[in-house]
Amino acid sequence: MNSVNNFYVFHIKKLKQFIVVVLAAFVTAGILYLENTIQYPVFSTAEGPKAIYKGENKGNKVALTFNISWGDTKAVPILDELKENALTNATFFVSGAWAERHPDVVKRIVKDGHQLGSMGYSYKNYTSIEPEELKKDLMLTREVFKKLEIKDVHLLRPPTGNFNKEVLEIASSYGFTVVHYSIDTDDWTNPGVKEIVKQVSKTRAGDIVLLHASDSAKQTAKALPQIASTLKKKNLSNVTVEELIANVNAQTSEIN
């Protein structure tokens, strides 16, 4: 009798182990599925607007983005290198104050085939200013682009990278989608061309890469030929942020 009981106990334990293994496999498969099919927002609410930091993992598209809020000397060499290396569809987030001082460069960004996004008018932390001041900042930039005859600027990268629910809601009410990033090259710290390229080499399909074209980024232009080569070796094609997140409304998950 004991041997029979032992037989059943043995098989029940085996059955439990099998069930645990199967459940673990399903969980792992679910996680991998989500990682490869869903776009991830930096912040979202169940019903509110979302901030995007990554596109779909499927396919071979990535987005190189450049922030410009100050400086006079680095933007043009970067545009030259992008053109020389056939990277003709990057996304430039520029501040309104900078655009006012550099209208010809802004127009060249668009003429060269790149997308233009807003970084607000002046370099302010959007989470530490009053809503009315934030609205004014957004409108000032919109007026600058209007004077430059540039239309359809609907992507926004908050100047300091900081945002919250209120910022998202105000930005959305003015027709902006907040765009963050998934790969930070830290190029503005001038860590060396090799280090900048190393960070870009971590890029996978769907990533939004943060670079800079302000005067603090002294090594970025020199890194671009190697960046172009790296993306080519990984079979990744650069597209605008707009193209990368074209299906974001259907694919974005919710974070409560």
Q: How, if at all, do strands 177-179 and 51-52 pair?
A: parallel
Residue 189: CATH number of its domain: 3.20.20.370
Indicate whether 97 and 213 sit together in one domain.
Answer: yes
Q: Report how far residue 61's alpha carbon sits from residue 44's, in angstroms, rounded to the nearest whole number.
A: 24
**237: in domain:** yes
Task: Return the amino acid letter for 191.
Answer: P
Sequence-distant (6+) residues with CB within 8 A of 68 are: 75, 92, 93, 94, 95, 98, 119, 212, 213, 214
Dihedral of CA 107/108/112/116: which sign? negative
Geometric angle at alpha carbon 193, from 192 and 195, rounded to 5°? 70
pLDDT the model gives residue 163: 92
Structure confidence by residue, pLDDT tens digits, 97-111 = 999 999 999 999 999
Place of tokens 């990033």: 181
User: Domain count of the chain?
Assistant: 2
Indicate whether 240 and 143 sit together in one domain.
Answer: yes
Structure confidence by residue, pLDDT tens digits, 28-64 = 333 333 333 333 344 444 567 889 999 988 889 999 9
Indicate whether 120 and 5 sit together in one domain.
Answer: no
Q: Report how far residue 118's alpha carbon sits from residue 138's, in angstroms, rounded to the nearest whole number.
A: 8
- On whether the pTM is more than 0.85, the answer is no
Dihedral of CA 117/159/62/224: which sign? positive
**256: in domain:** no
**32: in domain:** yes
Alpha helix ranges (H) inside the chain: 2-37, 75-84, 96-101, 103-111, 131-147, 165-173, 193-200, 220-233, 241-244, 248-251
Q: Which of 133, 115, 111 is nearest to 124 (CA)?
A: 133
